[in-house]
Structures are given as structure tokens and as C-alpha cells.
């Protein structure tokens, strides 16, 4: 057990969703709530309470970033099929944090300029700076997911990327960035419902992309690509977490707990004053 259990959790979230060698994408219950025994009402209440705690922890990280040159940052990587809820995760979980301490980046189809560079080029440019919580909505893992499923480059090119990514992430961790990798899994049925809602509601048309339905035809290939990604890039320094997403409240609560765990492990303290507090009090009183 890596932290104490909190209300509602019989197994701490970090342990309940961490990938193990026996994790099978095909068998994953996407409607499940691993480690959590409470219902939606409790989950939603906790999301607010724990979100407030997360916000306080993030402020401390930000304060340290302002006060010291020690490089400490956190990077949350969200990977998931369309409709898994990546955008909602950013709004509802990251939304608890002070925006000035958040570096958000979303990675879509590479631009012409990005295509001229190595696939990690755009990733390196978006890494969180000292004191920041970075959030990647999609990431370098697209280069072993969509790229592989659609044969955008030949296997000789994507195959070495698993090792290359492990190496890249190890360097990142050694330089002071804590990685939280979250693979978000929605079921094929729930995805259909969410896409149908987008087609039913004019306020959701903007989220609908006809290509999403095309991608459903590649579901088995994607599941295999996700399996290989988990098998080959879940490392000690940067493990994957597998989060069922059919219940949005659960996935958001689980990721809130992953962030809290990572920030608590940094064991941050408020930076000491770099001025004489008593002198300043006296000056203020006299002013
Ligand atoms: P979203 O669908 O998440 O709202 P976008 O429409 O901007 O965001 O872009 C996402 C699309 O970009 C996805 O279909 C994704 O697979 C694709 N994509 C991301 N990275 C790459 C890449 N390296 N190569 C090809 N396609 C990519």
C-alpha cells in the first residue's frame, strides 16, 4: 500500500489502478470503480473535497517553483480513445488548480512544421517548467497508437519508439519531473452513447468529428496497440495507470487521487521568507 486509504476507498487509487504485468486491456471492466466502494453521490462529494486539497498542494508546488531553482514539476499524461473524457478531466480535475501553475497542451494531428521534426520535438517544447503541473491531452503515445493502427509509418519506425520513449521519460524523471501516466478506457457501448449525444445536441456538434465513427471500426487494433503500449512502457520510473471511464465521476476522482499522491510524495514545504519578517512587520506598522 503506498498511501493510507481515504473515505470510500478500500484500496488506495494509486494501487487500484496501477498497471500490473497481468493487466489485460480486453478484460478491463470499463464501468468498474476499482478500489472505490462508494456510490456516485459520495464520489462527487469527494471530488470537491479532495479537489480543494489538490489545489492547496499545487499552490505549494508553484510557490516552490517561484522560490527555488530546484527543478520540480508534475506531468499528467492523458491517453484515451475519443469520448473517454480527456477534456472533462482537464476541466473538472485540473480546473481545481490555479491556472498560472498549470501548463496545458493538447496534441492533435501534427502540423506541417511538426512533421518535419522528430516526434518528440513538440513534446519537449511543451514540458512543464519548474513548479508547474503539466497536462498532456494526448501525447507522444499517439506515435505508437494512431500511427501504428493506421500504418502512418512502417513498423521499423514505430517499433523502436517504445524503448526510445522509456529512455526519454527516464531522463525526464531524473531531471525532476514526476510523471503520472493515465490510460483512460471507455467501453464501445458507452462511446456510442456519447457520440449519439453529440449528434443530438446542437451545443455538442462542435465536439463531433465524423472520423470518430471511422475509428470505431479499428477498435480491436487500438485495443492491441494500447495493450502493447502498457506492456512496453509501464516502467518503475513512469508506470501506467489504467482508469475505467464509463463513469465519469469515478475517473475524475481516481485521477484527483493520483495527482494528490504524486504531490504529497514531493513532500513540499512552504518556501521560507527571503526577508526579515519582524523587520517587515515593523516597517509595515510604521507606514
Ligand atoms: P480531439 O479529437 O482530442 O478533440 P483533435 O481533433 O485536435 O483533438 O486531434 C486529435 C486527433 O489527432 C486524434 O485523431 C489523434 O489520433 C490525432 N493525432 C494525435 N497525434 C497524432 C500523431 N502523432 N500522428 C497522427 N495523428 C495524431
Q: How far apart are CA 11 and CA 251, in angstroms?
A: 15
Q: CA 210, 94, 19: angle at the middle one, nearest 5?
A: 75
CA of 109 to the centre of ligand 1 (A): 5
Question: What is the count of structural domains for the chain?
Answer: 1
Residue indicated by cell numbers 513498423: 155
CATH number of the domain bearing residue 42: 3.40.50.300
Domain hosting 18: range is 13-286
Q: Which residues contact 205 (CB under 8 A, 6 or more apart)?
A: 198, 199
- Which of 140-148's residues contact partners 24+ apart within 8 Å by CB, and which partners? 140/107, 140/165, 140/168, 141/77, 141/79, 141/165, 141/229, 141/233, 142/79, 142/107, 143/119, 144/225, 144/228, 144/229, 144/233, 145/79, 145/222, 145/225, 145/226, 145/229, 148/225
DSSP H/E element including 248: helix 248-265
Return the C-alpha cell found at 222.
Answer: 487500438
What is the strand order of the sheet 240-244 is part of? 102-106, 133-137, 73-80, 177-185, 240-244
Tell me what pLDDT residue 202 has. Answer: 94
Tell me what pLDDT residue 68 has. Answer: 86
Residue 99 placed within a domain? yes
**For a pocket test of ligand 1, which of 84, 89, 113, 138 has the largest count of ligand atoms closer than 8 A to its C-beta?**
138
Tell me what pLDDT residue 170 has. Answer: 98
CA of 250 to the centre of ligand 1 (A): 25
What is the full per-residue pLDDT of the chain (287 aa) written as tens digits? Answer: 344 558 999 999 999 999 999 999 999 999 999 999 999 999 999 999 999 999 999 999 999 999 988 899 999 999 999 999 999 999 999 999 999 999 999 999 999 999 999 999 999 999 999 999 999 999 999 999 999 999 999 999 999 999 999 999 999 999 999 999 999 999 999 999 999 999 999 999 999 999 999 999 999 999 999 999 999 999 999 999 999 999 999 999 999 999 999 999 999 999 999 999 999 999 999 99
**For a pocket test of ligand 1, which of 126, 146, 211 has the largest count of ligand atoms closer than 8 A to its C-beta?**
146
**Nearest in space to 114 (alpha carbons), one of 19, 32, 106, 171:** 106
Q: How far apart are CA 191 and CA 84, in angstroms?
A: 7
Q: How far apart are CA 268 and CA 262, in angstroms?
A: 11
Tell me what pLDDT residue 85 has. Answer: 96
* Residues in the ligand 1 pocket, defined by CB under 6 Å: 82, 107-110, 138, 142-143, 146-147, 152, 209
CA of 108 to the centre of ligand 1 (A): 3
Residue indicated by cell numbers 510523471: 179
CA of 63 to the centre of ligand 1 (A): 34
Tell me what pLDDT residue 16 has. Answer: 98
Residue 5 placed within a domain? no
Predicted TM-score (pTM) of this structure: 0.96
Exposure string for 133-146, b = 16+ CB within 10 A, e = fewer: bbbbbbbbbbbbbb
Q: Please name the residue whose Cα sits nearest to atom 19 of ligand 1.
A: 108
Residue 159 placed within a domain? yes
Q: How far apart are CA 86 and CA 59, in angstroms?
A: 23
Tell me what pLDDT residue 5 has. Answer: 56
Q: How far apart are CA 107 and CA 15, in angstroms?
A: 28
**For a pocket test of ligand 1, which of 106, 142, 208, 245 has the largest count of ligand atoms closer than 8 A to its C-beta?**
142
Residue 139 placed within a domain? yes
Q: Give the number of C-alpha atoms closer than 13 A to the C-alpha of residue 28, restricted to the C-beta side.
A: 30
In DSSP terms, 243 is beta-bridged to: 184
What distances in angstroms separate CA 273 from CA 1, 277, 278, one per listed residue? Answer: 36, 7, 11
CA of 57 to the centre of ligand 1 (A): 31
Residue 191 placed within a domain? yes
CA of 82 to the centre of ligand 1 (A): 9
Residue 7 placed within a domain? no
Amino acid at each position: 500500500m503506498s498511501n493510507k486509504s481515504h473515505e470510500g476507498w478500500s484500496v488506495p487509487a494509486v494501487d487500484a489502478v496501477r498497471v500490473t504485468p497481468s493487466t489485460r486491456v480486453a478484460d478491463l471492466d470499463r464501468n468498474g470503480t476499482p478500489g472505490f466502494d462508494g456510490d456516485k453521490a459520495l464520489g462527487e462529494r469527494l471530488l470537491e473535497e479532495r479537489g480543494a486539497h489538490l489545489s492547496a498542494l499545487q499552490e505549494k508546488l508553484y510557490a516552490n517553483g517561484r522560490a527555488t531553482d530546484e527543478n520540480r514539476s508534475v506531468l499528467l499524461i492523458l491517453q484515451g480513445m475519443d469520448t473517454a473524457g480527456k477534456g472533462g478531466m482537464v476541466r473538472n480535475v485540473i480546473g481545481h488548480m490555479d491556472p498560472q501553475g498549470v501548463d496545458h497542451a493538447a496534441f492533435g494531428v501534427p502540423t506541417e512544421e511538426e512533421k518535419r521534426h522528430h516526434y518528440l520535438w513538440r513534446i519537449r517544447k511543451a514540458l512543464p517548467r519548474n513548479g508547474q503541473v503539466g497536462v498532456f491531452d494526448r501525447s507522444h503515445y499517439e506515435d505508437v497508437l494512431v500511427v501504428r493502427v493506421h500504418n502512418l509509418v512502417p513498423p521499423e519506425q514505430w517499433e523502436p519508439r517504445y524503448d526510445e520513449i522509456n529512455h526519454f521519460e527516464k531522463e525526464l524523471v531524473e531531471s525532476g519531473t514526476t510523471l503520472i501516466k493515465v490510460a483512460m478506457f471507455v467501453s464501445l457501448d458507452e462511446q456510442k452513447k456519447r457520440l449519439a449525444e453529440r449528434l443530438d445536441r446542437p451545443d455538442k456538434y462542435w465536439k463531433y468529428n465524423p472520423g470518430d465513427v471511422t475509428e470505431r471500426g479499428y477498435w480491436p487494433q487500438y485495443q492491441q496497440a494500447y495493450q502493447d503500449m502498457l506492456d512496453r512502457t509501464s516502467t518503475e520510473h513512469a508506470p501506467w495507470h489504467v482508469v475505467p471511464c464509463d463513469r465519469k465521476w469515478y475517473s475524475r476522482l481516481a485521477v484527483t487521487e493520483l495527482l494528490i499522491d504524486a504531490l504529497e510524495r514531493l513532500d513540499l514545504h512552504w518556501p521560507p521568507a527571503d526577508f526579515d519578517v519582524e523587520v517587515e512587520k515593523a516597517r509595515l506598522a510604521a507606514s
